[in-house]
Structure 1
Amino acid sequence: MISKRSRRAIGVAAAVATAFSLGACGSGGDAAADGRVHVTFWQQKFEDYQQEWFKENVEAFNASQDEVTVDLQVVPADTWEQKLQAAQAAGKQPDIATTSYGNIKSGVAEGKFAPLDEFLPAEAFSDLKENVAPFVTVDDQHYAYPMLVEPSTVLYYRSDLVQKAGLDPDSPPESWDELLEWSKALTKDDVKGMTVASTAADLSWSSWGLQLNACGHLPVADDWSAARATEPCFAELADFYKELYQEDLMPQQPKVGYADGQPYGEGEVAMMQGGSWVVGQLKNDFPDVVDKTMVAPFPSADGDVTSTTSTLGGWTLTLDSKSEAPEEAAQFIEYLLAGDPEIMAGFFKETGYSKYTVRGSVDEILADDPEASADPFMAVISEQVVPYGQAEPAYPYDIALAMGTALESAMKGTTDVDGSLQTADDAINDIIEKQKLSGNATS
């Protein structure tokens, strides 16, 4: 799947493709009139500051080379799939592309990507964080190089409102029961205690970490042979959402979706379940709230703060399996993502420390950076959330939506918990049969 979290988090629907130093759109390899090998790099459009960062670093790489030029093309997210598929059909796919974690293993199964191991030094891969390396690994080979991770689930809370409610902001809730208690204590007048996803579309992906926390697995067998949505642990998760909603501890009709921190920034809620990207939104749009905000790992079912409550989405660079210039393309991937850690440290500074590193060496750079170490959110998220995050599932989004629909139905009382989960179970089994998924798991 192209992850829903990745689509929504970056918020990148843009109108028109922009090209920087744009050359031919096909795979590179042949020397152009300038005598240099041209490598094409398609980058899905992200925030403006990211576009500038990519542009600057492509130009820096090109200036450092005598024989290679990277031609960068920026493609809007809403046309990405169509444009990429058309290029692949015409044999003009880019040598390098930004690829989400959720698309790596299915792409490998389809023969789209070349392994990077023969082109990058071994230390480039040993530098990767232990829980992130498997996201890009198939049969002991690395088919992408990670750029960043974004945890889908972090607990944000207003320290001033917490204190007024007689709670200790330095001891945030660690279990679902404690979170419910805090939510009740913080619900006052026009301010709700908590906000979480409340629509099927948002619950479909934002609940992955909590599904893993509740059950240790997702609502489908590891080999995608059968649904598992009716297991009692999923009922416990549905009950958690149901109590938050039906006890009126959260907005009943939120103005925006889960990915948007606006209700928290505007003071409508005292606590928020949100992705790490909300850090950047608060800093940019609600700076007055930043000093009053604290973050913590999202509470777990049993209070274990080291258990998974978040999935990790994010982006990588992949090398096309049909590239005619694989060495030159891999040279750029190494330069940008796997080489001098100062390059990526600069990127995370540009993000306002709202995205998180995948390399130990970059962590070391940031630890020595006074600005990074002083950031009120970075240490907590990078040290207490990222290490325990798991990959987003690679199964078809239809399965995720079936579970999200069940959680919304149970939350809002449209159907009882058991009935909602049974409907999801039936839907997932139907998806497995119709899409012939059994035994074809790519994760």
Structure 2
Amino acid sequence: MILKNGTILRNDKMELLDILIEDGKIKKIDFDIQEENQEVVDLSGKYIVPGAIDVHTHFDIDVGIKSVDDFISGSIAAACGGTTTIIDHPGFGPRGCSLEYMIDKYMINAKFSHIDYSFHGVVQELNENTYEELQKLKSRGINSFKIYLTYLYKQNDYEIITLFEYAKRLDMIVAVHAENDSVIQYFKEKFQAEKKLDITYHSHSRPNDVEAEAVCRLIKLANIINYEKLYLVHISTKEAMEQISIAKLEGKKVYVETCTQYLYLNNDNYLKQDAIKYVLSPPLREDKDIKSLWENLRKGNIDIIATDHCGFSLNQKLKGNTNFLNCPNGIPGVEERNLIFFSEVLNGKMSVKEYLDLLVLNPAKIFGMEKFKGSIDVGKDADLVVFEKIENILDEEKLHSKSKYSCFNGFKLLSKIDKTYLRGDMIVNSGIFLEKSPKGKFIERN
């Protein structure tokens, strides 16, 4: 198959080039490719970008309330938003389970995925088996695992530094949810006693320094043993970015992720009638935090924009309507991310290089998929997305998450997705998902 006359986004520029695809791979990129016996797809006036990679999703997660998006609906939403690979964060398993327990479970669930996928391990309890279990994950092509500084299986400083040491020996990435649990619990108990339980107090229970303190501590602990693959998920605050900026200026290596919501949505949303939609952790912040994140993005202090997609229905969210402590934390976003940021390329707010680095190349590089994914280059998987330039409005009724709502509803867009290809197989055409048997496969990372 030849994709002809499309404008391709590569490196830091747009080029009018053809792409020859054979056996699911990009075989040739050149001007006016002519090959016999090839299907030709004319993409005049359209843009071709590499399939986006979302390294932070939560499909099929159970937090006492089960998310509505499984690997079927979640992967369809991703595909229709131009994301062709995810790395999912599994939820916690039963107490005392091995690190492979949830991976094995998710391997079965993900067989129904319409896009490619991998997983992060999740460490619950550090014990005498942890190092060997991490070795097994690494041998299976999973080069990262997540720890939490809050929630049920939070890690203390001894456990954190031990896990950093293990990861250093095994050359693995440690992704960390960085919030100070003790402060969160203090405020939750305080607000409960004072009967301050409406949605606005969700944000107040997790003030900015809850994140900043945890980020600072993690950077210091990693530095103590010279561990250089710390990955900070969903960073949301100016104060945390100040700590990160200092560390990077000092030459310390730390990877930083933020998410779409923290770049656009502020905590004024908690004053709205539909405030329940916006309950997630970390919470939405102030305009000064949004400004700081964009500034640090421009400086190169942020490596990846992910989504933290965790879809619940409004009925599920309404469990917290009179008590924010009962609201499941998380919002959908796997479909919206690429639509929003490609529009920012077209309007000049984001450069081609920034867009490709943050949504595609850095996710592939950092998490060990660069051999197959991350750019439009000969030999790479033909994971390609075709955008058509057209002004439109992001409409939650047209999205595919079973959440049936979007926190980005009404956003102005400058393009829409015309086609999505997974390894050369068209799975979205004219913006419509093509009903096919699932073709997603597990991607080994190293």
Same fold per superposition (TM over 0.5): no
Which structure is higher in helix share?
A: 1
Which structure is higher in strand share?
A: 2
User: TM-score band, normalised by the shorter chain?
Assistant: under 0.3
Q: Which has more radius of gyration?
A: 1
Higher RCO (C-alpha 8 Å, min separation 6) = 1
